[in-house]
Chains A and B, each alone.
Chain A
Amino acid sequence: MSYTTDFDAIRISISQAKGLPNAHYIDPAVYDEERHALLFNQWAGLAVASEVPEPGDAIPSTFLGVPLLLLRDKYDQVRVFQNTCRHRGMILVEYACKIAGAIRCPYHSWCYRTDGRLVSTPHVGGPGQSTHKDINRSELGLIEIRSHIWRDVVWINMNGNAPTFEDAMQDAITRWSEFEQPLYHGGADSTFKLDVNCNWKLAVENYCESYHLPWIHPGLNSYSRLEDHYNIENYGSYSGQGTLVYRQLSGESNEKFPDFENLSEKWNESAEYLSIYPNVLLGTHRDHAFAIILIPDGPEKTVENIHFFYPSEDTNEALRKKNTDQWKEIFKEDIFVVEGMQRGRHGIAFDGGKFSPAMDGPTHCFHDWAASQIETHRGLEHAAE
């Protein structure tokens, strides 16, 4: 590996630090390296469990080039498999569907149970003979990807090397422990997708800072002023921002969403927004929450999948729609800046940028984390050579 990044220039005090250099946003080789160091080696967000509400529901997807199958098995457990048949490597499931019985490979019809076990290998020993002494079904189940559900997000650790989810996410889980209660996805009116032309890290960086609020979200700023925000920096795992003046949305006859139960007073007017490294952006309020899952699609493209959640299964539809629309406007306002920063990184003399020591702490926190992970990854690669 011939890449050099001056990690020391990034991992020092914010007053002196620079941001990650251009190559980390535009170079396909660095993107591939970060795919391993920052995404496969971590607990990354893939989807939300509500996307597969019933046993047998299955959704194929491609995550960082890897074909995956998200499904809810017959025993109601959400699982993630590699969507590749153990025989000749055919893609197993092409479209989102409901698996009635077994997953049948469309090529030679090997069949897998929804928990991944290989259940039949038709004609494998010759016509009409489905067994063979060299075919050990118990060794040929679907390859399962380590997964964990927290706040309805399906987190996956592709290479199996991360610590347990609870260990890796301990600080964030503790910070929001009051919100450890059921979350109900608002349904079809409470999800949308944005395609943005930027490296996924720029979406993380823009989300975790409040410095841009007065200029990019002037409407928001009228009641949520910059000085009512605070930075959140938890080196090594997450960063973000909080507001002290959250006001609940209300409908035409002043109806509101119900609150999460037993919250401390602090949350009456506070809300927090965390970028959970690597790719999940979470928000929580007294009466709703959301998750944005960033799906990188090459160095300069990202898909943002956005989902809203409520404290109760039964919430006012019009109010839900209003909430979704309001957030959509805000998230859309951010698109031109993340895309503009992406284009800006083709400026060959850009040096990673100069941080505001007062305002850019959360971004520096993310760069510090990213740099440490990439540095470790390069060290291991180097040692292996």
Chain B
Amino acid sequence: MQLNDQDLEDQILMAHDASNTWLLAELYAHAAERVLDHEQACFLATQAYVCALQSNHPLKSKLHTFLKRHGREE
């Protein structure tokens, strides 16, 4: 992961440590919006989507729409 944002990366690792998938969905989604590289964005959005699915986070439909539009999800 190269977010060029040490703070966000730390937050993501802490949320992983705490198994806080609700927060992870938000952090990954935030990260996906910030990266400039499209492949990176799809990777991070995928991470966010899975966490949103697991935690039933409302972000899941927006993420799904994004991924599907780019041919990354069914």
Contact = CB atoms under 8 A, between A and B. Distances in A.
Given A122-B46, A122-B50, A130 B39 contact: no
Contact of A137 (B41, B46, B47, B74): B74
Contact of A104 (B41, B42, B50): B50
A104 B16 CA distance: 14
A120 interface: yes
A120 B49 contact: yes
Pairs A-B, 4 closest by C-beta atoms? A101-B56, A128-B42, A128-B43, A104-B54
A30 B50 CA distance: 45
B62 interface: no
Contacts, number: 58
A119 interface: yes
A119 B56 CA distance: 13
Interface string B26-47: 0000000000000111110111
Contact of B72 (A109, A111, A128, A137): A128
A109 B19 CA distance: 13
Q: Is the interface of A mostly helix, strand, loop or mixed?
A: loop
A63 to B, nearest CB: 26
A127 B43 contact: yes
A137 B43 CA distance: 20
Nearest to A112: B53
A101 B55 contact: yes
A296 B46 CA distance: 43
Contacts of B42: 127-129
Contacts of B73: 120, 130-131
Contacts of B43: 123, 127-128
Given A101-B57, A101-B60, A137-B74, A128 B52 contact: no
A101 B53 contact: yes
B39 to A, nearest CB: 6
A204 B73 CA distance: 52
A100 interface: yes
A213 interface: no
B54 to A, nearest CB: 4
A119 B53 contact: yes
A101 B41 CA distance: 23
Interface of B: 21, 39-43, 45-47, 49-50, 52-57, 60, 67, 71-74
A102 interface: yes
B56 A100 contact: yes
A130 B46 contact: yes
B54 A100 contact: yes
Contacts of B21: 104
B39 A102 contact: no
B74 A131 contact: yes
Interface in A154-213: none
Nearest to A129: B72
A274 to B, nearest CB: 42
Given A100-B55, A101-B56, A127-B39, A120 B72 contact: no
A129 B72 CA distance: 5
Contacts of A127: 39, 42-43
A104 B73 CA distance: 16
A119 B57 CA distance: 15
B56 A122 contact: no
26 contacts: A101-B52, A101-B55, A101-B57, A102-B53, A102-B54, A104-B50, A104-B53, A104-B54, A119-B53, A120-B49, A120-B50, A120-B53, A122-B46, A122-B47, A122-B49, A122-B50, A123-B43, A127-B43, A128-B40, A128-B42, A128-B43, A130-B46, A130-B49, A130-B67, A130-B74, A131-B73
Contacts of B74: 130-131, 137
A104 B47 CA distance: 12
A123 B42 CA distance: 10
A119 B73 CA distance: 10
A126 to B, nearest CB: 10
A129 B42 CA distance: 8
A104 to B, nearest CB: 4
Contacts of A131: 71-74
A128 B46 contact: yes
